[in-house]
Amino acid sequence: MNKFTKSLSIYLLPVLGLLLYSCIDDPVSPNGNYVHISIHDEYGEQYYWNNSLDRFLISPGDAPITIFYQSEILLNTFNSPYSIVITSELEEIIYKYMNVASKDIKPLYYNYYSNYNNLQSFSIRIKIPEIKAERTEYFVNFISDLNYVQVMNQFTMRFGDSILYCYLKIPENNHSYFLSGKIMIFEAANWRHGNKIDYRKFGYKESDSLSENQTVVFTESDLEYDLPDILTNFKNILPTGRSGAGNQISISFPGYSKSADLLLIGGTSDNFDFIIPALPLENRIKFTGRYSGGNNSENAFRSELFELGENCIITHKEPISLVSPAYGDSNVTGSTIFKIYDDQPGGVYLYEFDINAPYGPLRIYTSKQELKFSEIITRGFEWRPNRQYVWFVRKFPGFANVDELLSSPYTLSPKYNATQSTEPRYFYTGP
């Protein structure tokens, strides 16, 4: 039995008392405050249940707890604004969204370290004319408004090769025998000589009935179009004291999902030139600049869209940082203030607190730059004396507040275009 099940009696028994207390001290609507909640995974997909043993435990604040097997619920939060706490019986993770006013929210709940959970493989075989060169590169891209993960889109081809693959991972609730979209391919000759890349043999085919393991054939006449290109400068301007962490250049297709983005190259320096193909489809250049600090967790990214022919320059804001408690503080109490520094207005902060196993992390989403430890302690993450904790903060600057972050699965939103993360610090609770 895990910690959430053990703690049910702690929170379910005093529900009546909590409600009576709330009626006295808080502005409670006589008709309640009903909120529609749909829970989504890291890919932005509403949960698809393939394990009848799993269930969510959700509560406005710490109680009352509602237990349910679905990923969608109409919940009475009693007050507005409110906080929502979400746990799961199979994942030792606690999510808390603070100071929410919206009547329709789409929170995320997921484990950072899961790898393609809730995704099913879908592959399409592509046949092209035999390669005549000793070696060349081909790009393959699937363009659709669906939500999916492209596992691989660049292939090294050698003399006599003629088979490519489009490898996709599809969310279980979207998995189908047929997909609708475009398959696009082109050759990038001389790929290893960056200033001499020759984009050619472009082609695409569109279908509303692509089946798994289907073979899509491109003939010589399908690949006659040689792509124009343009030499483009890319600059990633870093905050003082930070180091570049490898940047990415992609091609983005307006009107389609983020999943359709085509990664051209990653791991680049902070000031470089690169040849970009001019595709005969509406598209933008997507440049993602990254940096890191003295710790692997102290990192950031920022993505911006540019027109073909523009110089692509990203200038990072000054990073956020932890202020208090001090590193290694050994007497944290309920009144201790956890504070961050940020000189840029707006944004949503994710405070993450972790303690040694078997307890999972607590993730709090809020617009506040400081929290009391008594506000942090919550269901499943109770006070434990004389224990070591680790915390850090990540900022999502594209969102004005938690309500905007929850208006859609935020990983799918165009506003999810930057993050900043602090270094981690540890502290100890007092006796």
Average pLDDT over residues 287-305: 88
pLDDT-based confidence at 49, cuts 50/70/90? low
248 vs 252: CA distance, rounded Å: 12
pLDDT-based confidence at 429, cuts 50/70/90? very high
Residue type, 245: A
User: Residue 10: its pLDDT value, please?
Assistant: 39
Cβ(260)–Cβ(141) below 8 Å: yes
3 state SS of 220: helix
Fold of 119-227: Immunoglobulin-like (2.60.40)
3 state SS of 362: strand
What are the pLDDT digits (tens) for 322-338?
999 999 999 999 999 99
Q: Which of 28, 33, 19 is nearest to 75 (CA)?
A: 33
Predicted TM-score (pTM) of the model is 0.86
pLDDT-based confidence at 23, cuts 50/70/90? very low
What 3 state SS string does 151-197 have? EECEEEEECCCCEEEEEEEEEHHHCCCEEEEEEEEEEEECCCCHHHC
Residue type, 430: G
> With 60 as the cut, is the pLDDT of residue 3 above it?
no
Fold of 321-428: Immunoglobulin-like (2.60.40)
Q: Any idea where the domains of the chain sit in the sequence?
A: 3-105, 119-227, 230-315, 321-428
Cβ(404)–Cβ(416) below 8 Å: no
Cβ(45)–Cβ(173) below 8 Å: yes
53 vs 66: CA distance, rounded Å: 16
Q: Which residue has the tokens 């001499």?
A: 196
Q: Whole-number mean pLDDT of the chain?
A: 86
pLDDT-based confidence at 244, cuts 50/70/90? confident
Average pLDDT over residues 161-183: 86
> With 60 as the cut, is the pLDDT of residue 317 above it?
yes
What is the sign, positive or negative, of the torsion defined by CA atoms of 67, 73, 76, 81? positive
Average pLDDT over residues 20-49: 69
Identical fold, 119-227 and 321-428: yes
Q: Which of 182, 203, 188, 202 is nearest to 124 (CA)?
A: 182
